[in-house]
Structure 1
Amino acid sequence: MYPLSLKSLKMKLRTNNQYVRCGLAEFLGTLILILFGCGAVAQMELSGLAKGQFLSVNIAFGFAVTAGAYICAGVSGAHLNPAVSLSMYLLQRMTCRMMLVYFLAQFIGCFTGAALVFALYFDALHVYSGGNWTVSGTQATAGIFASYPSEHLSVFNGLSDQVIATAALMVCILAVVDEANNAAPRGLQPFVIGLVVLLVGLSMGFNCGYPINPARDLAPRIFTAMAGWGLEVFRWALVVGASAGTNGRGSGGDVYL
């Protein structure tokens, strides 16, 4: 009995079930998004700005979106964001059942990515905070995983911030992929949308860190609640605003993000 070749193993593991294929693709893409993006935040915060700055975090999130999109674009269209999937459902480009599969895969992927960042920087977190996981204060570390408001931000302004930022993101995405509007070449679309995410971060990141993605914000927030930060992490959850900015209309092919 000879061992299976890599090609034979791939054929045995391959599935034609579109729900499974798209779900696994979105899971892996969002995992990479959080691993690189939140990993950059952890490196900046835990090193006391010695190993990163706000600009480096913005660049990391932009390219994290690009990397995640290239991983899964050929299978799922690389939504990587429930707001994008909801927009595609409203535009009648996917069924309700498929949208729910995307939602689940994206949340699990972001949750797993946050767990990997926690494992990666576990010792540094302990040294930085003495093992005291806090949401606020001089040694707060919850902001590594999810977005929290600046001191000046009111609830209303936080909501409007997310609606505006997410809507602007969706308008740009739909323009990038709109074949009737000088769309970017398909192979470059993930890269261009990564630049759009970078632009959103550079222009709208001051108030609350531009989550613009319900899965990216809520799933790591749930992880931190389970990992020891407690229920205080839910005091500010920006999911509603990120979902409310998705009512754009457009035409074109798959949407990447």
Structure 2
Amino acid sequence: MESEKRRKMKEKFGLRRDIFKEFLAESLGIFVLILFGCGSVAQTVLSKGAVGEPLTIHIGFTLGVMMAVYMAGGVSDALMDYTNGQFEVTGANATANIFASYPAKHLSVVNGFVDQVIATGALILCILAITDRKNIGAPKGMEPLCIGLVIMAIGVSMGLNCGYPINPARDLGPRLFTAVAGWGMEVFRAGGCWWWIPVAGPMVGGAVGAGIYFLFVELHHPEPKTQEENNVQDKYEIITMS
């Protein structure tokens, strides 16, 4: 009876077009990424480090990315207490950086762009290695965990300059939110008009990382025999003994 109701509901409300299914899954994934990632930043900033630190931010984004991959494959009263109702983009009481990335004082625009190209290139390079079934690869179902650990590695090694946005969706959407939620257009002017760096840099870095992996690794894979090609996907699957 339950399965019959589910079948009828799926027939009535289920989406037929793949693009709409992908849109919903990606939207939910990005929501979870921002929820965990920016939530860990908010907890650290608003508590002035009492219940958070850089490592907890890295962990928050790591878990956010991991769960977002699994799914796709608001401002609390504490903010008002912290800022006394003044939403500042820069300065000691800045809170716009809870939601989007801003450059450190030592970082120039050019260096920031290079930072994003390198960090995103490293991310894509590692993702391709993790999902490459002709390489060692990762066990089936463990790919999101491995990708999350890559995010943590990038955070602990390259997070000093600007907080490693390495994803236009992670940075531009929250920045638009802050622009209309009280911080104003200063979120686009701050840091020497920094906002475009986390958008353009990851796009270039993604292409660079993919190109490097193709030229250095994928291009040189030997052509497998037919039977081996059919079995290569199962080679590294986790075997569960019942």
Indicate whether the TM-score tops 0.5. Answer: yes
Equivalent residue letter for 2:25: A
- What's the counterpart of residue 219 of structure 1? 173
The equivalent of 1:240 in structure 2 is: 200
Aligned residue type for 1:217:
D
| Alignment counterpart, residue 165 of structure 1, candidates 113, 116, 119 | 119
Query: What is aligned with 2:31?
Result: 31
> Which amino acid in 2 is paired with 1:134?
E
**CA shift for structure 1 position 149:** 0.8
List gaps (5 residues or longer) in structure 2. Answer: 219-231, 234-242
What is the alpha-carbon distance in structure 2 between the residues aligned to residue 47 and residue 242 of structure 1?
31
Residue type of the alignment partner of 2:206: T
Higher Rg of the two aligned structures:
2
1:59 aligns with 2:59: yes
The equivalent residue for 1:13 is 13
* Structure possessing the higher relative contact order (Cα contacts under 8 Å, 6 or more residues apart): 1
Question: 1:152 is matched with which residue?
Answer: 106
Q: Aligned equivalents of 2:58 and 2:72: distance in 1?
A: 22
Q: Distance in 1 between matches of 2:108 and 2:78?
A: 32
Runs (4+) of structure 1 exceeding 6 A deviation are none
* AA aligned opposite 2:126: C
Q: Partner of 1:180 in structure 2?
A: 134
- Which residue does 2:228 correspond to in 1? none
* C-alpha distance in structure 2 between counterparts of 1:54 and 1:210, whole Å: 12
Q: Which secondary structure state, in structure 2, belongs to the residue aligned with residue 28 of structure 1? A: helix
**1:7 CA displacement:** 5.3
Residues 112-164 of structure 1 deviation map (CA, whole Å, 9 limit, x = unaligned)? xxxx3x2xx2x111000011101001111000000001111111111110011
SS of 1:187's partner is coil
TM-score, normalised to structure 2, is 0.80
Distance, in Å, in 2 between the alignment partners of 1:32 and 1:9 is: 26
CA distance in 1, matches of 2:141, 2:17: 25
Q: CA deviation at 1:6?
A: 5.1
Question: Displacement, 1:246?
Answer: 1.4
Q: Secondary structure at the match of 2:87?
A: coil
Q: 1:11 to 1:51 in 2, by over 3 A?
A: farther
1:196 is matched with which residue: 134, 147, 150?
150
Aligned equivalent of 1:103: none
Read off the aligned partner of 1:51 and give its amino acid letter. V
Query: Displacement of 1:209 after TM fit?
Result: 0.3
Counterpart-to-counterpart distance in 1, 2:38 and 2:8: 36
The one of 144, 150, 162 aligned to 1:208? 162
Query: For 1:199-224, what per-residue CA distance to the aligned partner results, in whole angstroms no more than 9, with x for missing partners?
Result: 00000000000000011111100110
Aligned 1:83-162 pairs, distance under 5 A: 116=74, 118=75, 121=76, 123-162=77-116
Q: How far is the alpha carbon of 1:9 from its aligned partner?
A: 2.9
Rounded to whole Å, the distance in 1 between the matches of 2:184 and 2:71 is 33
Partners of 2:107 and 2:172 in 1: CA distance:
19
Corresponding residue for residue 40 of structure 2: 40
- The CA deviation string for residues 7-62 of structure 1, in whole angstroms up to 9 with x for no partner, is 54344221121010011111110111001110110011101111111001001101
Cα distance in 2 between the residues matched to 1:43 and 1:150: 20
CA RMSD of the aligned region, Å?
1.7
TM-score of the two chains, using structure 1 as the length reference: 0.76
CA distance in structure 2 between the aligned counterparts of 1:8 and 1:45, rounded to whole angstroms: 48
